[in-house]
Structure 1
């Protein structure tokens, strides 16, 4: 793709958080490209966390910078229903532990950027991801998958700013509001949505040093959690959670409830050094309270409703599926193929799982389903009334041992 000529861009849709960096980017697009800017702010759950103040502040700042077309959209239900739930059907975790809270939000944002560009006649989209991170890849791969001709502006890869001081000076020159605490660099960078919060950089850059307690914003310290366990029952249909303690709930509300339960019991903290797609290792502190509960519950209901072969195949496919999401390939044919296989396995994944939440732990205590494959008649230590003939095991073992015995006989000779 050829380099973008600034005179070719008349209108650009910016993924806008209202923070200092994207406010500077907004003004930079106006001054450097001479382009009209449309802002898009996605409510992915940060409005729940911040009481809506963050979204209102984004709108006010955009208006102050002369923006006429401001999109602020509540996409929480779509986020959970169409992105988070499909991912959890796969039990997806990256590098064994990370629940992909940032990764899974990016394709939805890119999808709406492309749609808004088409609605408003914009030539390009823009994002505030840096040239060192994964998000630039996720935003842009998703955008090109949806519109191969879209132009993407990534200011962090273009502008000449070399330091935080340069950004501050630009903000002051163009009368961009700077919060008082921004005069000193933030102790760490935060990204949040309904699924999780992530903290990176500054005080967290040395993986040999324990993260300070003030980094955690979504969970209480497990040591401070109640001394009595919290019991919760989660209902599933088609592999997705649909109820808590028998009460049917919509996707966003259900996840909000799980987040509260996780918060109150100190569940979902993760301190991780991960391998970024762009090639470097990065240390992050993640909090995924509701997601941690859901993952345990989903695996529990699968344990009684999913055939062994299907379940083991899913577990083999999962690392590849998780890597696709982490690397930004949500809108790819291979992810669609894997999703189709995963979704086919979930037809009979229904029932209820009872969990005990206690000081950072999620403990399965019961699971029940009308579609259960578990048979007490087969596993009982009492009289099974002929349900299983134990003599059949002899032939089963002999056949499976045949190649091992053949190998052993050869090895003994030599």
Structure 2
């Protein structure tokens, strides 16, 4: 009896070869799965292509709304950025894709899932840790970690020849000078010409290479654009007065941010597997959402709660980056984050200008900012007695004075 394997499939050269190779090597029935997470790929004809390549069935699922609501928004609430720069666009999509693969495997009574992630990257970890958490009984096949596959396909030429021999319908083009991954939150570029960290990917002469979602700031409009975001319990619910779903918010902010060259990042990051990697990212909508969320938090969140949550941002971001979305520690952190957002409601006004996000105002009925207390003029509320600061400072300075006197005696 043949095995059943659910394969993450896009219809491109790599996954077309994987589909055929897995079916042949494992004497298996292969069920293809393509997730629409906002990559804007052409899905037309994918059904016929997968079946002609050897799939017994194909699932093509639109997961964009779930991606925005259950993955991007909770992460924005947590303020998560990896190593101070990366908005975790690829990282946060993988647990959703793997979750759906596991669901399909269970429905189809398949004992295996398969993916095309390489043995050097983070995605293999993210896919497989998700499967381990949600369905430990399901095994994973990773052809790029199989010496048989790497020996047979050392490069694209061998893959193209294989497709011609097997009459697999693919349109293989010349090798791109880098690899890309796109979804609703971002697009990433890595490898190829970007492996030289001195290479300047911000040069406008590379127009058409690194400006898929956003223009280069030099080419953005010369006039700033003002936008208004409304938040409820830490989630953006409206932009410019229009109520929108999380998916609607992301699409509109991507358009607005992209127009003004917002959210472009070029960094050298630390992969989970141990090596450093250079990545170039465009995250227009996510950058705006993250910045605006912080603005309304600054007005409404208790100081100690904010500082506690902020102290956990590196841990939360690392968990997402490393593939531990379904780990108990991430779920525990999320519970704290959710509680911290109960009063994070209000309105933020921003200006977008040539790659910059500029705060232009914030307001909330839950504001903890009291201008009568904060004023440099006379305090009509009498809530703050400046004389009290004398004892406050003396007590906080006690240990410092004690230490200084000790050292003087020495």
Q: Same fold (TM over 0.5)?
A: yes
Deviation of residue 166 (structure 1)?
Answer: 2.2
TM-score normalised by length of structure 1: 0.94
The residue aligned with 2:58 is 70
- 1 CA distance for matches of 2:267 and 2:394? 46
| Conserved 8 A contact 2:51-2:57 | no
CA contact (8 A) 1:270 1:286 kept: yes
Say whether residues 1:174 and 2:166 are aligned partners: yes
The DSSP-based 3-state class of the residue aligned with 1:56 is coil
List gaps (5 residues or longer) in structure 2: none
> Which residue of 125, 130, 151 maps to 2:139?
151
Give SS of 1:46's match.
coil
Partner of 1:189: 179
Q: Any idea what SS the aligned residue of 2:44 has?
A: helix
**Matches of 1:67 and 1:187, distance apart in 2:** 30
Q: Is the contact made by 2:256 and 2:285 (CA closer than 8 Å) also made in structure 1?
A: yes
Query: Partners of 1:93 and 1:246 in 2: how far apart?
Result: 28
Question: 1:196-233, CA deviations, whole angstroms, 9 ceiling, x for partnerless residues?
Answer: 00011111111111123422211101111111101000
2:404 to 400, 404, 408: 408
The corresponding residue for 1:349 is 344
Residue 399 of structure 1 corresponds to which residue in structure 2? 395
Corresponding residue of 2:68: 80
Q: Which portions of structure 1, spanning 4 or more consecutive aligned residues, are displaced by more than 6 angstroms?
A: none
Query: Whole-Å Cα distance in 2 between the matches of residues 14 and 276 of structure 1?
Result: 24
Q: CA deviation at 1:411?
A: 1.6
Which residue, out of 194, 206, 225, partners 1:204?
A: 194
1:165 maps to 157
Secondary structure at 2:249 match in 1: helix
CA–CA distance in structure 2, aligned partners of residues 180 and 126 of structure 1: 22
1:220 to 2:215 alignment: yes
Kept in 2: contact 1:39–1:69 (CA 8 A): yes
Name whichever of 55-64 and 127-136 sits farther off: 55-64
The answer to whether residue 285 in structure 2 is matched with residue 290 in structure 1 is yes
How far is the alpha carbon of 1:162 from its aligned partner? 2.0
RMSD (CA atoms): 1.2
Q: Normalising by the residue count of structure 2, what TM-score does the alignment of the two structures yield?
A: 0.95
1:16 touches 1:58 (CA, 8 Å); kept in 2?
no
Counterpart of 2:121 in structure 1 is 133
Q: Where do 5+ consecutive residues of structure 1 fail to align?
A: 1-6
Question: What is the CA distance between 1:335 and its match in structure 2?
Answer: 0.4
